[in-house]
Structure 1
Amino acid sequence: LQVKQATNQIVMNCADIDIITASYAPEGDEEVHATGFNYQNEDEKVTLSFPSTLQKGKSCFHAFLLHLKALEQPSSVPGGSDCRCAAPKDSATDARRAFPCWDEPAIKATFDISLVVPKDRVALSNMNVVDRKPYPDDENLVEVKFARTPIMSTYLVAFVVGEYDFVEARSLDGVLVRVYTPVGKAEQGKFALEVAAKTLPFYKDYFNVPYPLPKIDLIAIADFAAGAMENWGLVTYRYAVKILSFPPLCSLILGSNWISFRELCLDLVCDCAVLSPQEWWTHLWLNEGFASWIEYLCVDHCFPEYDIWTQFVSADYTRAQELDALDNSHPIEVSVGHPSEVDEIFDAISYSKGASVIRMLHDYIGDEDFRKGMNLYLTKFQQKNAATEDLWESLEKASGKPIAAVMNTWTKQMGFPLIYVEAEQQEDDKVLKLVQKKFCASGPYTGEDFPMWMVPISICTSDDPTCAKMQILMDKPELTLVLKDVKPDQWVKLNLGTVGFYRTQYSPDMLESLIPAIKDLSLPPVDRLGLQNDLFSLARAGIISTVEVLKVMEAFVNEPNYTVWSDLSCNLGILSTLLSHTDFYEEIQVFVKDVFSPIGERLGWDPKPGEGHLDALLRGLVLGKLGKAGHKATLEEARRRFKDHVEGKHILSADLRSPVYVTVLKHGDSTTLDTMLKLHKQADMQEEKNRIERVLGAISQPELIQ
């Protein structure tokens, strides 16, 4: 410690820890023992009182602790072993639950960590091991010493002790990458290793910031409280979402490895100003939102065949819009008065809306200027504290655009706009009238205030559906635009690529003109997805008729894209739920079968040569939808294949298990349920257990539900 002013007290962050002894040892002087411990539980602090004044200068602080709440309890995995993981686990303020410290983002330090552990256990921390020797007081223990960390924030400190196997590789830039798994599960870590090795060089090139540590470990921990945590050099994950066998032939690839891309992004530049050393917790959204966006950018770079931006719209963009349209939403940037409030803002607004507005900002600025601005910012604030406004300033300097003015309308107020658009033909030009109002899930906005956003608007036409005919910043409630050389038979669409964070309501004639573009697939998948999602949301809000939406849905009969079908399926599922206790329920099931039958017949039950993993996902989705709706041929085949699977005659592939399970359970009896529970008990893979648990909700018979 560095004492800058003489005092007889030290105040530190401390929560859920019992301090047995504490002492202060000045350089070249006698050790002074604390005589009083005053815990301020509400403020998560402790005041240590000393019998004499602590003089200015350097010193060492020692403490003996008990009851560390940040230490994960032993957990087991199928076929695995127990482990124990320590701070921080699932909160930005959990370091204070592992050791007394100054646990705020603006305060940083270097850390020298040593662990005394059983000699048959693996011990890991942020840095590499520099010494491992027998512990003098117990022959069954060893002392493991790690290299000193670079200067960093407390919430990135971590150490793990347990029984693990690992696989390793080196990234193209020479960083040692290891994936630790429960004993006997090393093979399941190979794809995660491949992802990590590809990811590090991408982030290094994109940010122009080299990874500063000699190694990075990724470790899977059963029942880990958080999904993942970007501890610098030691990224921790919940076992169920991290471990994935290779090759990836099931939808688990999406969730598990998106987490890898996110946490590695945070880990790579976690001591750069944009991603972790925020001035205060108010700017936490930038940490999470930025990482949520750039993980998709990295996936697109490493695995372009994933069509990842269409998946982003389905997984993050629409999810954020659903929540942000509620009356009880909150702005992205929330003022945090006390650290205990931090967990309250770890939600889809921080992650998904944050990512969506960063994506919109990137599109508005352009990739070249965006990277220039990021590099300018990272260079200026590396190992310094920064606020959101500092990033806007750097991006503004690089692009010459009013970044702060635009972004403040998106980060400091809740909600987002609905853009109503109508067109009028004037000779060879189309005149568009745009009106923006706040979109509310509860119905048309009727508030007394008139919130307004500065909205980057991009417009494409049938002449080139993939290129913007016009880009403009809508900075007023109403706007009139003239699109030159757009003939009467050409359609016009707003929000190219579904990048702008707003919903669009077209006039009836404009919507009608887009239907052929859906049928012939000339409208790109991400735009088809965005269009149908807007329509369903407008219908649920009572702004347009459901009948109008279903007419458009019939145009998706030729749809080949998995992500579009997935989002459409989800929206039809919500509609089915809303109609489940009405006279229209059977009619909506007939509609579902009519919509999904053509694609189901084309796909069939078995893979075809040349198919990709998205085709396999689509097959599972479509068959599951048809099975739940009671499609006769699908139900019969599902029952046959389930019987063969249970009897061991023909084991179902991973991608067919969910649709078969959900179909037989939906239309099954107590025997079916008993068989499913037996499969769950026998499963030795966590993803199989999760798969069965997810389909149990398909049971429809009241006596079985009870």
Structure 2
Amino acid sequence: MATTENKTSFQRLPCLVTPINYHIRLAPDFKKFTFEGSQSIDLKVNESTAEIVLNSDKLTIENGADQCNVKLPNDNKTINIKEIKYNVEEETATLILAEKLVPGMNAILNLEFSGELDKNLTGFYKSRYIGPDGKERFSAVTQFEPTYARKAFPCWDEPAHKATFDITLVVPVSDNDDKMVALSNMSVKEENRDSQKRRVVKFDRTPIMSTYLVAFVIGEYDYIETRSKHGVLVRVYTPLQKSEQGRFALDVAARSLDFYTDYFQIPFPLSKLDLIAISDFSAGAMENWGLVTYREVCLLVDPSHTSTSRKQSISLTVAHELAHQWFGNLVTMEWWTHLWLNEGFAMFMEYLCVDHLFPDFMIWKQFVSDTFLSAMNLDSLANSHPIEIPVGHPSEVEEIFDDISYNKGACINRMLYHYIGDENFRKGMKLYLSRHSYKNTQTEDLWNALEEASQKPVRRMMTTWTKQKGYPVVTVNCQGSNRLELTQEKFNSDGQLSDADKTMLWAVPVQVITAKDVQKPQAEILLEKRVETLELGSLIDLQKEWIKLNPFAMATYRVQYQQEDLFIRLLEEGIGQQKLDPADRLNLINDLYSMTLAGRKSSDVLFQAIGSFRNECEYSVWTVMNVILSKYNQLLYGYDFHPKFVEFGTKLITQKVFGEIGWDPKPSEPHLKTLLRPLLINRLVTFEYPEVMKKCHEAFDDHVAKRKSIPADLRSAVYRAMSSQITDEIWEKIMKLHDEAELQEEQMRIQSALGSVKKPEFIERVLKFAISDKVRSQDTIFVVASVACNPSGRRTAWEFFISNYELFKSRYDVGFLGNALIKSLIENFQTEEMAHQIEDFFRVNPNKGWDRSIQQSIETVRLNAALMARDTEKLAKFFQ
């Protein structure tokens, strides 16, 4: 089958003519689910040409002189379009003109077109929802990133082709007309009625911007509003009669706007900012300038039903999209190769913002356990990619909206921030944003600004992180009592290095903390050579004391300690006596875990080290421990010593931390304690710990009988417990809860929990439920994924996918969801036989939009198989 290196032939749009301003009028029909459109585009003619090439996908452009022509206002002349040639593969339309355009002339391209409101959550599409009266309603909404504006109107749909936009929306006549809203990037300029009594809403002209940031919404919504301290009108639009569920997001949005305005020292350039909850939405949210769209679950908070983790997630998502209003919208990457300039920086800034707004979240600790580690895990695969990767065809663009562009991008930004300091970082950000406002940039433009501000070798250092795939492992070898030999080489998940890998070097900011002071580094070096020596000073004795590299996991590398006794001291004192910061504790065990997966250490050594965490009570550390326990639960399922592994994991949790955290929340307990409780209970549900299973049954019975509601934080665990011991009676009760739930978060909790069923007939029932009308298309993959993550159901989930391949392909062949589905289906298998079977299937049934995810997932299956071949006997001996 094709690998990710086999690129589809692709050429960017020619620049013979370029757009300056679009006048766009769109009129959706909610009965036929179609739309009519017209537009006049002011053009700049750069070279003599008789052809205009622009993007158009699944649109019908009227080919008549009255509807489609080029006007030359200065000459009072019209040039007809003789022919329209469509290239379906390239998603372009070529307009063949009757005469040539001449450079320097003013030209206006007039087009009339029509299309369908998309079914696949891209372009201009329909969203279904149930109104307060119980009746089905529809709205028309947009999702244009990365390359879907061309499905709504013919355009130059590339980031560098910035223009201004005058949007006019025609609102269908409704029996609830006073609740029908029309929204776009800008404020309403004027409104009137046409001959059909439809409202015609015109919006102010936008700033210069890229097509993927244009947005419009027509539907029934309520809203609440406030003003930021800098005077920006902020509104949150919600489904009817749910406006108060937008209150938390409204507060976060207004405060985030103020934070970024003060941090960047550049005002938000629009007069208003709308945030809107969309019922059907593929991604979590989209940063359209002035009109940010969200999944309902990523915006709405109901105090009775919203979990603490979801509320925290909403704050991060809102902060992320608002960071984009500067990073991405005001200054935009020139091409998708530089996507990380948008996403990596927005992800780093969301943590910086939320830490400012909610210091009690201790969000930077969670950054290490969530963002840092997920980036490292993906980036050690052979089928990873550099942060900056050449992309061309739209199908390739989708593949890089992944943990490399987002999470690794955020990690190297955090590393750079720490390296140059907050003051220099702020100066550099202001310089970059001011210098390139309303323009397009490449990565080098950012490095230039930060280097100018900090007077440090930013470009030299950071190029090693963006241009190369992967990251290094630094091996530490003690030389005498106070000298370290540091050696860097590329870290690969399979433990093998190619000839090309052996030549790779990074500029690694290495810092060292010692047992004497775990907060302040005692030595540091920018490691740029293969091997360097670092002097620690006479106050440290490596024969007796321990050290740790990469304090707080600030830099993007792994560490291997050559001396066994040094590592044992680290475990005994740093972990066992908890002298290390939580970020260092989790970093230490995750590095060991990764070394184990790569064959540098064995699994029995890993679990001996895990035993050192018997006193661990920190949420961020347990997040990593949970990942490790989950991985081995998948790998060891079916082996005769699997029950002993479950016993080991259960004892690790129950001997101290669960006794302290308990089932019931404590008054005014810290935020991280509130997050730790459901994590532990969910793990104990997976291990079927009798005490917890009994509590879950009691809580479920009380909840169904409406005697006492299950706390929102514990509902996922309770629903999973009941699903794991499902009966027809329990199924009916769960379905009733699902059907009556008004909050999407509650429905999604139930849907995902159903993946825990173990009886074969119920596994089939859950999978059929996943593709039924009861589950939104955007949520289907999470139901299927939950079954695939259940060792009892993963084979059935894969076979179900094969049987329904055409359905899944038609739904998810474009967008982010298909890649998420592929990974969840494949990654937990552990035999070479399954790797071959999966390869064979996709060789016959290729999908280029999923290709990178397929390759990464098959590689993970082979890594699983290699691990089990190496370590099965050692694990059996350890647990028995």
Instruction: State the TM-score bracket (shorter-chain normalisation).
Output: over 0.9
**Residue of 151, 168, 181 corresponding to 1:122:** 181
Q: Which residue of 1 aligns with 2:535?
A: 482
Give me the whole-angstrom Cα distance separating, in 2, the residues matched to 1:390 and 1:606. 52
Residues 147-167 of structure 1 deviation map (CA, whole Å, 9 limit, x = unaligned): 111111111111111110111
Give me the whole-angstrom Cα distance separating, in 2, the residues matched to 1:510 and 1:694. 43
On the 8 A contact 2:525/2:534 being kept in 1, the answer is: no
1:518 aligns with 2:575: yes
1:197 aligns with 2:254: yes
**Residue of 49, 60, 66 corresponding to 2:114:** 66
Which piece of structure 1 moves more, 558-567 or 213-222? 558-567
Give me the whole-angstrom Cα distance separating, in 2, the residues matched to 1:7 and 1:526. 60
Q: Which residue of 2 aligns with 1:406?
A: 461
1:25 aligns with 2:77: no
Residues 411-435 of structure 1 deviation map (CA, whole Å, 9 limit, x = unaligned): 1111111112133552xxx222222
Distance of aligned partners of 1:78 and 1:692 in 2 relative to their CA distance in 1, 3 Å threshold: farther
Give me the whole-angstrom Cα distance separating, in 2, the residues matched to 1:212 and 1:188. 27
On the 8 A contact 1:458/1:468 being kept in 2, the answer is: yes
Give me the whole-angstrom Cα distance separating, in 2, the residues matched to 1:223 and 1:502. 39
Secondary structure of 1:458 counterpart:
strand
Distance of aligned partners of 1:481 and 1:78 in 2 relative to their CA distance in 1, 3 Å threshold: farther
- The two structures have a TM-score, normalised by structure 2, of 0.76
Give me the whole-angstrom Cα distance separating, in 2, the residues matched to 1:526 and 1:566. 11
1:376 aligns with 2:431: yes
Give me the whole-angstrom Cα distance separating, in 2, the residues matched to 1:582 and 1:123. 59
On the 8 A contact 1:3/1:58 being kept in 2, the answer is: yes
Q: Which residue of 2 aligns with 1:497?
A: 552
1:459 aligns with 2:512: yes
Distance of aligned partners of 1:449 and 1:344 in 2 relative to their CA distance in 1, 3 Å threshold: closer
Secondary structure of 2:196 counterpart:
coil
Secondary structure of 2:460 counterpart:
helix
Q: Which amino acid aligns with 2:234?
A: V
* Aligned-pair CA distance for 1:471: 2.0
Aligned-residue Cα RMSD (Å) equals 2.1
On the 8 A contact 2:327/2:341 being kept in 1, the answer is: no
* Aligned-pair CA distance for 1:541: 1.9
Q: Which residue of 1 aligns with 2:672?
A: 614
**Residue of 526, 529, 543 corresponding to 1:473:** 526
On the 8 A contact 2:514/2:548 being kept in 1, the answer is: yes
Residues 303-356 of structure 1 deviation map (CA, whole Å, 9 limit, x = unaligned): 111111121122211111111111111111101234443222221111111111
On the 8 A contact 2:472/2:506 being kept in 1, the answer is: yes
1:432 aligns with 2:474: no
* Aligned-pair CA distance for 1:118: 2.9
Give me the whole-angstrom Cα distance separating, in 2, the residues matched to 1:540 and 1:350. 24
Residues 41-95 of structure 1 deviation map (CA, whole Å, 9 limit, x = unaligned): 22222122333455653343322111155211232258586343444x1532212
* Aligned-pair CA distance for 1:668: 4.4
1:40 aligns with 2:87: yes
Which piece of structure 1 moves more, 442-451 or 78-87? 78-87
Q: Which residue of 1 aligns with 2:299?
A: 242
Q: How does 1:451-600 map to 2 (within 5 A)?
A: 451-484=504-537, 485-487=539-541, 488-506=543-561, 507-515=563-571, 516-597=573-654, 598-600=656-658
* Aligned-pair CA distance for 1:226: 2.7
Q: Which amino acid aligns with 2:53?
A: V
Q: Which amino acid aligns with 1:252?
A: R
Residues 491-518 of structure 1 deviation map (CA, whole Å, 9 limit, x = unaligned): 2111111111111122321221122222
Residues 253-276 of structure 1 deviation map (CA, whole Å, 9 limit, x = unaligned): 233332211111102444433xx2
* Aligned-pair CA distance for 1:574: 0.6
1:365 aligns with 2:365: no
How many residues align? The count is 697
* Aligned-pair CA distance for 1:677: 2.7
On the 8 A contact 2:43/2:109 being kept in 1, the answer is: no
Which piece of structure 1 moves more, 461-470 or 201-210? 461-470
Distance of aligned partners of 1:686 and 1:271 in 2 relative to their CA distance in 1, 3 Å threshold: closer
On the 8 A contact 2:252/2:315 being kept in 1, the answer is: yes
Residues 160-184 of structure 1 deviation map (CA, whole Å, 9 limit, x = unaligned): 1111011111111110001111112
Give me the whole-angstrom Cα distance separating, in 2, the residues matched to 1:225 and 1:72. 11
Secondary structure of 2:68 counterpart:
strand
Distance of aligned partners of 1:85 and 1:521 in 2 relative to their CA distance in 1, 3 Å threshold: farther
Secondary structure of 1:149 counterpart:
coil
Q: Which amino acid aligns with 1:218?
A: L
Residues 463-483 of structure 1 deviation map (CA, whole Å, 9 limit, x = unaligned): 221222122111112222121
Structure 2 unpaired stretches of 5+: 1-41, 765-880
* Aligned-pair CA distance for 1:249: 4.1
On the 8 A contact 2:145/2:213 being kept in 1, the answer is: no
Q: Which residue of 2 aligns with 1:284?
A: 339
On the 8 A contact 1:75/1:82 being kept in 2, the answer is: yes
Give me the whole-angstrom Cα distance separating, in 2, the residues matched to 1:313 and 1:535. 15
Give me the whole-angstrom Cα distance separating, in 2, the residues matched to 1:309 and 1:357. 14
Secondary structure of 1:209 counterpart:
coil
Give me the whole-angstrom Cα distance separating, in 1, the residues matched to 2:619 and 2:140. 38
Which piece of structure 1 moves more, 657-666 or 669-678? 669-678
Give me the whole-angstrom Cα distance separating, in 2, the residues matched to 1:133 and 1:183. 24
Q: Which residue of 1 aligns with 2:13?
A: none
- The two structures have a TM-score, normalised by structure 1, of 0.94
Q: Which residue of 1 aligns with 2:105?
A: 57
Distance of aligned partners of 1:268 and 1:372 in 2 relative to their CA distance in 1, 3 Å threshold: closer
Give me the whole-angstrom Cα distance separating, in 2, the residues matched to 1:83 and 1:268. 32
Give me the whole-angstrom Cα distance separating, in 2, the residues matched to 1:249 and 1:43. 44
Secondary structure of 1:111 counterpart:
strand
Secondary structure of 2:324 counterpart:
helix
Q: Which residue of 2 aligns with 1:652?
A: 710
Residues 264-301 of structure 1 deviation map (CA, whole Å, 9 limit, x = unaligned): 1102444433xx2x222211121111111111111111
Give me the whole-angstrom Cα distance separating, in 2, the residues matched to 1:663 and 1:255. 24
Give me the whole-angstrom Cα distance separating, in 2, the residues matched to 1:504 and 1:374. 31
On the 8 A contact 2:428/2:450 being kept in 1, the answer is: yes
* Aligned-pair CA distance for 1:203: 0.9
Give me the whole-angstrom Cα distance separating, in 2, the residues matched to 1:22 and 1:63. 5
Q: Which amino acid aligns with 1:614?
A: L
* Aligned-pair CA distance for 1:369: 1.5
Secondary structure of 1:442 counterpart:
coil
Q: Which residue of 2 aligns with 1:638?
A: 696
On the 8 A contact 2:523/2:535 being kept in 1, the answer is: no
Percentage of matched positions with identical amino acids: 43
Q: Which amino acid aligns with 2:88?
A: N
Give me the whole-angstrom Cα distance separating, in 2, the residues matched to 1:409 and 1:268. 26
Which piece of structure 1 moves more, 435-444 or 323-332? 435-444
Structure 1 unpaired stretches of 5+: none
On the 8 A contact 1:203/1:265 being kept in 2, the answer is: yes
Give me the whole-angstrom Cα distance separating, in 2, the residues matched to 1:38 and 1:446. 46
On the 8 A contact 1:314/1:567 being kept in 2, the answer is: yes
Give me the whole-angstrom Cα distance separating, in 2, the residues matched to 1:337 and 1:705. 40
Q: Which amino acid aligns with 1:496?
A: P
* Aligned-pair CA distance for 1:676: 2.2
* Aligned-pair CA distance for 1:7: 4.4
* Aligned-pair CA distance for 1:673: 3.5
Q: Which residue of 1 aligns with 2:826?
A: none
